[in-house]
Structures are given as structure tokens and as C-alpha cells.
């Protein structure tokens, strides 16, 4: 049984026969090992396949990748090979994953992480996007410095997307649109593009400061800031803007943290606004420029925003000036200690520590403050699960959701609500 095989054992074997447990959010085949996962692109759930295991990319990785050598017991959903590069490319098995299947895969991911790191068995739900947000198509690619070229290039082992028989008309339409948009700009030196069925690599040239500044002449409503060695060396366009976000208008600058996928994130913030109970005092820990505070401030007499980024706190003050909101800049534990010393008794607290765990010191001060309701927003479900272990001795887990704020990627936001025990 593959479930009894360790990562080290699988890596030491030249070839291994496995049964695919399930497919991931990109429809890749997933095999559960004793201490990690084996990822097999082009293999379908329930198939028995012979694979060649590739060397681990990093010693601490909990994932191994493998290439299909033979499909021993094929799935009834398997597509026939469309060309001679079948076993190298596996593009014939590339499928357009549905929104529902992607969300289901991410729900399972959150459930598995919580069970492993927090010992909690839950039923995770999805905070749904508005219907209009499901129609977008995203082509993800890696930016690579490569001389003076800009183009799309596939790996040699992958069938060129230009003549891949497995592609659907919709996928070809996306590729053609992307190429046409690049060709519109005469300033770009564009090489003949090739495409892989599931990977596009965009090659861009390094560019000197003078060439970047020349873009200013043709930029309309665009701000560009280039950071080099920690300093801003190239800048043009507006230095700040106002964004319409989940029903709120927020001021943002070049240095402000705002959700990268605005359309996908807006339903999460609207959901927070609708579900947040009313009360006297709310605390927004990791407030940034006030995305969460702006949604819930009308429900509370007083709101406190705490963030380690002093620049973000200044923008927070501007965005929340219509409410009785107070901003505290500094480390989380210091801001929480100030609230304890002030005798603040929060009815509700949101926590967004980005991708790092809160740590013992911060959690101790949260327990001193003892808000009645907690909403933990965890961009890293693993970090959030580790913090949850300490929080569950004071609060009771109410519900768990995943918010698909980065569609078509492996990232998801774990959202956990807790109430005082």
C-alpha cells in the first residue's frame, strides 16, 4: 500500500506502482504517502500507474513528483493519446477544472490541515463568490529574466500549444487573445511564442531606469514603483488612489497592502460585514489599511486597529475617519497590551497575521483581552491551525470556511470563527 511508503523510500525507488487517491485543484494525481504526497501529473483518480519518481526539490519538501511510465489500470474518463509525446507531456489529460471542483479540493485541504496540526475534525464550507466573478480566465506564468526577449516558451518535453491536439477551442482562444495583447505594444521585442498545455513561461528582459521612465509618456492612470535593494529607485504616475472594495471606498498608496485578487476577495469582506454581530468594541488585529474595519465599524461604538506597518496605520486613520476608530502602530503584543491596560473589553476581534503564526506572546495577550467572538483569517491554513491549538483552550470552534481569494492557484484563505467557552 502506498500509504505505508515514506517519502524517502519512494525517492529511493527508480520506479514505483501506485494507485491515484484523488485529483488536486489542477487535476493532478495525488497519492497519499505515510509522511507526505506523491504528485503525478496526467494521472486520474483511481488509476493504477507505473511512475518514475523525480528527486526531491528541497530536503524538507513533503511532496514528491513523478512521471507516468505506464497506465496499468486506466480510468473510464481517460482521454486517448493524441500524439507521440503523450507520456512526456500528458497534455491529453489536461482538463478545464470547474469552480466547484477547485473549491472542493481546497475545502479538503483545510480539513486535512486542521486534523493534522490542530487535531480537529471539521466540515469546511466555501464562502462563495458572486456569480459574475466565476467567468474570469487567468493564465498564470513565471516571469523570467532572459536577455532582451519577451515571449512564451514551453519546455522541450511538452507539446507546443500551437499544435497540441488535446486543446479545447476555448483554451486556444485564450492563448490567441494573450498573444494579440502582447503584440499590440510595439515597444516589446516579442519572440515567436510556444505554449505548453498547462504552463506558460513569460520571458521579460531586464530594463534600465531610463527605459522604464520612458513608459511614463504612454501611461494613463498607471503608477509604477520599482524597489531595488530596499529603496524606491523608479517611480511615476499617481502616488495614491481610491479603490472601491466590497462596498467601501479605501485610500491606498504604492506601499499599501491590498488584496492581490480584488474581485475574488471582495465577497469575503462583504461576508464579514453581513455576519459580524453588533456590539460596543471591536478589535482588528493586523488591520493594514482598514479593509476589515471598514466593513464592521458601523456595527460598533469603538473600533481599534493594530498593525506593525506604521505607514499602513496612517492610511487606516484616513480610511476610518468617519467612525470612532483608533489606530495603534507597533508589534501585535504591544498593541494588545495597551488595550488590556486601558481596560478594553472587546465584543469581537478579527485576526489576520498574514502567513506567520501569531506566536505564544501574542496569543497570551489575546487571552488577557478575552474577546467574546474571534474571527481568524489565515492566508496560511497551516500557521492558523498551529495557533488554533492554543486558542481552543479558551474559545470554542464554531465554524470553518475556505475563501478562494486566489482562484486558479493552490492558495486559499482559512476562515475560522470562535466563541468564548
Q: What is the mean pLDDT of the chain?
A: 79
Distance between CA 285 and CA 330 in Å, rounded?
11
So what's the pLDDT on residue 407? 78
Least confident of 13-27, 132-146, 152-166, 372-386: 132-146
pLDDT, tens digit, 9 for 90 and up, residues 81-96: 777 766 666 667 766 5
pLDDT, tens digit, 9 for 90 and up, residues 325-381: 999 999 999 999 999 999 999 999 999 998 889 999 999 999 999 999 999 999 999
- pLDDT above 70 for 22: yes
Distance between CA 350 and CA 291 in Å, rounded?
11
So what's the pLDDT on residue 389? 96
So what's the pLDDT on residue 256? 78
As annotated, the binding site includes: 307, 352
- Other beta carbons within 10 angstroms of residue 114's beta carbon come to 23
So what's the pLDDT on residue 195? 36
So what's the pLDDT on residue 365? 98
Question: pLDDT grade, residue 146 (50/70/90)?
Answer: very low
Calculate what percentage of the chain has a pLDDT beyond 70. 70
Using a 10 angstrom Cβ sphere, with 0-12 exposed, 13-18 middle and 19 or more buried, the burial of residue 22 is middle
pLDDT, tens digit, 9 for 90 and up, residues 158-204: 445 555 666 556 556 666 666 666 556 555 444 433 333 333 334 44
- pLDDT above 60 for 283: yes
Cα radius of gyration rounded to whole Å, the chain: 24
- pLDDT above 60 for 217: no
So what's the pLDDT on residue 20? 95
As annotated, the binding site for S-adenosyl-L-methionine includes: 307, 352
Can you list the domains of the chain with their CATH numbers? 2-78 (2.40.50.140), 104-132+241-420 (3.40.50.150), 137-236 (no CATH)
Question: pLDDT grade, residue 61 (50/70/90)?
Answer: confident
Distance between CA 221 and CA 242 in Å, rounded?
12
Least confident of 207-211, 258-262, 316-320: 207-211
So what's the pLDDT on residue 215? 52
So what's the pLDDT on residue 260? 65
So what's the pLDDT on residue 181? 62
Using a 10 angstrom Cβ sphere, with 0-12 exposed, 13-18 middle and 19 or more buried, the burial of residue 285 is buried
- pLDDT above 70 for 114: yes
Residue 254, by phi and psi: left (phi above 0), alpha (psi -120 to 50) or beta?
A: alpha
3-state secondary structure the chain: CHHHCCHHHHHHCCEEEEECCEECCCCCEEEECCCCEEEECCCCCCCEEEEEECCCCCCCCCEEEEEEEEEEECCCCCCCCCCCCHHHHCHHHCCCCCHHHHHHHHHHHHHHHHHHHHCCCCCCEEECCCHHHHHCCCCCEEEEECCCCEEEECCCCCCCHHHCCCCCHHHHHHHHHHHHHHHCCCCCCECCCCCCCCCEEEEECCCCHHHHHHHHHHCCCCCEEEEECCEEEEEECCCEEEEEECCEEEEEECCCCCCCCHHHHHHHHHHHHHHCCCEEEEEEECCCCCHHHHHHHHHEEEEEEEECCHHHHHHHHHHCCCCCEEEEECCHHHHHHHHHHHCCCCCEEEECCCCCCCCHHHHHHHHHHCCCEEEEEECCHHHHHHHHHHHCCCEEEEEEEEECCCCCCCCCEEEEEEEEC
Q: How far is CA 373 from CA 67, 221, 277, 290, 370, in A?
A: 48, 41, 9, 19, 9
So what's the pLDDT on residue 59? 80
Task: Note whether 107 and 101 are within 8 A (CB).
Answer: no
Cell of 330: 507597533
For residues 223, 228, 232 and 235, what is the CA-based torsion angle, rounded to 10 degrees? Answer: -30
Sheet with 325-329, strands from edge to edge, namely 125-127, 395-403, 413-420, 373-378, 348-351, 279-285, 300-307, 325-329
Query: Which position has the higher pLDDT, 140 or 26?
Result: 26
So what's the pLDDT on residue 255? 74
Amino acid at each position: 500500500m502506498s500509504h505505508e511508503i515514506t517519502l524517502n523510500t519512494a525517492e529511493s525507488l527508480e520506479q514505483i506502482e501506485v494507485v491515484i487517491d484523488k485529483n488536486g485543484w489542477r487535476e493532478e494525481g495525488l497519492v497519499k504517502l505515510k509522511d507526505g504526497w506523491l504528485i503525478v501529473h496526467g494521472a486520474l483518480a483511481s488509476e493504477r500507474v507505473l511512475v518514475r519518481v523525480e528527486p526531491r526539490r528541497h530536503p524538507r519538501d513533503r511532496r514528491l513528483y513523478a512521471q507516468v511510465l505506464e497506465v496499468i489500470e486506466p480510468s473510464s474518463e481517460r482521454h486517448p493519446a493524441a500524439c507521440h509525446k503523450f507520456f512526456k507531456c500528458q497534455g491529453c489529460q489536461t482538463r478545464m477544472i470547474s469552480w466547484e471542483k477547485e473549491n472542493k479540493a481546497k475545502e479538503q485541504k483545510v480539513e486535512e490541515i486542521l486534523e493534522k496540526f490542530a487535531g480537529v475534525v471539521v466540515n469546511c464550507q466555501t464562502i462563495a463568490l458572486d456569480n459574475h466573478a466565476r467567468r474570469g480566465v487567468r493564465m498564470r506564468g513565471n516571469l523570467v529574466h532572459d536577455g532582451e526577449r519577451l515571449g512564451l516558451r514551453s519546455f522541450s518535453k511538452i507539446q507546443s500549444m500551437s499544435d497540441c491536439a488535446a486543446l479545447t477551442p476555448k483554451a486556444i482562444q485564450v492563448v490567441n487573445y494573450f498573444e494579440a495583447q502582447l503584440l499590440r505594444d510595439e515597444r516589446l521585442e516579442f519572440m515567436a511564442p510556444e505554449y505548453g498545455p498547462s504552463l506558460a513561461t513569460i520571458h521579460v528582459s531586464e530594463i534600465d531606469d531610463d527605459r522604464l521612465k520612458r513608459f511614463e509618456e504612454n501611461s494613463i492612470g498607471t503608477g509604477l514603483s520599482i524597489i531595488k535593494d530596499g529603496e524606491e529607485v523608479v517611480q511615476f504616475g499617481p502616488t495614491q488612489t481610491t479603490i472601491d472594495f466590497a462596498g467601501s471606498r479605501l485610500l491606498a498608496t504604492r506601499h499599501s497592502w491590498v488584496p492581490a485578487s480584488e474581485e475574488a476577495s471582495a465577497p469575503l469582506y462583504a461576508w464579514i460585514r453581513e455576519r459580524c454581530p453588533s456590539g460596543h468594541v471591536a478589535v482588528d488585529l493586523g488591520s493594514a489599511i482598514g479593509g476589515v474595519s471598514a466593513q464592521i465599524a458601523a456595527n460598533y461604538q469603538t473600533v481599534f486597529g493594530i498593525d506593525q506597518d506604521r505607514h499602513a496605520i496612517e492610511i487606516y486613520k484616513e480610511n476610518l475617519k468617519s467612525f470612532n476608530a483608533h489606530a495603534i502602530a507597533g508589534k501585535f503584543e504591544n498593541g494588545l497590551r495597551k488595550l488590556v491596560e486601558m481596560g478594553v473589553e472587546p465584543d469581537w476581534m478579527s485576526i489576520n497575521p498574514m502567513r506567520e503564526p501569531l506566536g505564544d506572546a501574542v496569543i497570551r495577550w489575546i487571552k488577557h483581552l478575552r474577546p467574546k467572538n474571534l474571527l481568524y483569517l489565515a492566508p496560511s491554513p497551516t500557521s492558523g491551525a498551529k495557533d488554533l491549538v492554543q486558542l481552543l483552550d479558551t474559545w470554542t470552534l464554531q465554524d470553518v470556511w475556505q475563501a478562494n481569494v486566489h482562484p486558479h492557484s493552490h492558495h486559499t484563505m482559512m476562515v475560522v470563527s470562535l466563541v468564548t467557552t
